[in-house]
Chain A
């Protein structure tokens, strides 16, 4: 297990553990894509327990966004620390995911 998942209304909330990196990202990607295959179109990555995201993690976000956007859904991010926000920013991911301070704000932005 590299992340915890919960369903809040029709939104899948993904809570990766400490690191979303080249080691943990493939497992999270597999789980998220399985949820998308069964009809999930709204996903929020809640980084409250996550202190590190690398490009492997960004790829999971981008792949999920590409998959659900076609079906009118979206991907959000919340509770990201300043370093993760910087990585999202320099990667241009404000165009890819909706960034909210809190889970409620990220869900509302979808």
Chain B
């Protein structure tokens, strides 16, 4: 699946992904996890990946397993989510909770491994899901 770094493209891609997963025998739990991880990571790429206003293509590839593997490639700033510190304190009371950082926390919780590589001009992230 290829989409441009635009919110409307992400919306269409999410619906396409949901429909695709429904046509396969993917369990609802795994289907939810795949959509969630895809949405969180592509949202981050669109929000923080680029300084310019140009159109950029983001490629996502899903290989249903087990193990199910999602690969995402973008030509944004080098960004390795595997080395980001955990920003979310899930035990903090509401008044101390920060708005933000939740996306990557959910990605970590829904995957068993995350592998990052920077190749030429591309970020390539490979995510493996638990079945």
From A89, which residue of chain B is reached at the shortest CB distance? B90
With A22-B7, A56-B43, A59-B100: A90-B94 Cβ-Cβ less than 8 Å: no
Q: In the complex the two chains form, is A59's CB within 8 Å of B99's CB?
A: yes
Q: In the complex the two chains form, is B102's CB within 8 Å of A91's CB?
A: yes
Distance in angstroms between the alpha carbons of A30 and B30 in the assembled complex: 31
- Segment at the interface with B among A32-40, A60-68, A100-108: A60-68
Residues of B within 8 A of A69 (CB): 94-95
Check A3 for interface membership: any CB of B closer than 8 A: no
Check A21 for interface membership: any CB of B closer than 8 A: yes
Distance in angstroms between the alpha carbons of A78 and B99 in the assembled complex: 22
Check B19 for interface membership: any CB of A closer than 8 A: no
Q: What is the interface residue range for chain B against chain A?
A: 20 to 34
Check B118 for interface membership: any CB of A closer than 8 A: no
From A93, which residue of chain B is reached at the shortest CB distance? B90
With A21-B14, A91-B90: A96-B40 Cβ-Cβ less than 8 Å: no
Q: Mark A42-55, 1 if CB is under 8 A from B, else 0.
A: 00000000001011
Distance in angstroms between the alpha carbons of A95 and B88 in the assembled complex: 13
Q: In the complex the two chains form, is A91's CB within 8 Å of B105's CB?
A: yes
With A22-B7, A22-B10, A22-B39: A55-B94 Cβ-Cβ less than 8 Å: no
Can you list 5 residue pairs at the A/B interface with Cβ under 8 Å? Answer: A23-B7, A55-B40, A90-B109, A95-B92, A95-B94
Interface residues of A (CB under 8 A from B): 19, 21-23, 52, 54-56, 58-59, 62-63, 65-66, 69, 82-83, 87, 90-92, 95-96
